[in-house]
Amino acid sequence: MIDRRILLASAAGLFGFTALRWFQGAPAHAAEKFEIEKTDAEWRAQLTPQQYEILREQGTEPPWSSALLKEHRKGIFACAGCDLSLFSSDTKFESGTGWPSFYQPLPNAVGTTKDRTFGMVRTEVHCRRCGGHLGHVFDDGPKPTGLRYCMDGLALVFHPGPTSSASG
Ligand SMILES: [Zn+2]
């Protein structure tokens, strides 16, 4: 006969362990629900390893590595994960940081969370449709918003053309 107390104690232990793991391992917005959700295997199949590291594991590309730094044509910068239009070339500016920078996202394009990694409080920016990590936003940008959306070029794909997001 199984002792009920032992059973309860081990169940509580298991729950505590699981809860701890969840709090430690979960990215800031893991609980958030997104329109497009895929398994890790599906994302890995779709993205390059570098894109996966940034979009799905909140990585950061090395500064000055992005081809999009020199992209000065008119067009739309879309999410590399789900192709949602995120930024217009009209709001791109030279920040001198080595990452593609914008002073404003397109309407209803991105979401933000507080990122407390590396002993700093930063505002993390992600695609509102697939939750893919894009970069961070800082308040030292140019007019008119004063914001600097510091984006990983690998998290974006550029579509030359009109700068309005008519298709969404
Ligand atoms: Zn996306």
Task: Give residue-wise pLDDT tens across range 113-161.
Answer: 999 988 999 999 999 999 999 999 999 999 999 999 999 999 999 999 9
Question: In angstroms, what is the span from residue 128 Cα to ligand 1's centroid?
Answer: 7
| Residues with active-site annotation | 150
H runs (alpha helix) in 1-159? 4-25, 40-46, 49-55
For the whole prediction, is pTM greater than 0.75? yes
Distance CA 59, CA 134 (A): 9
Query: Sorting pLDDT into bands at 50, 70 and 90, what band is 24?
Result: very low
Phi, psi of 134 (to 5 degrees): -115, -35
Question: In angstroms, what is the span from residue 55 Cα to ligand 1's centroid?
Answer: 9
Residues with CB under 5 A from ligand 1 (ion): 79, 81-82, 84, 127, 129-130, 132
**Mean pLDDT computed over every residue of the chain:** 87
- With tokens 């600097």, the residue in question is 148
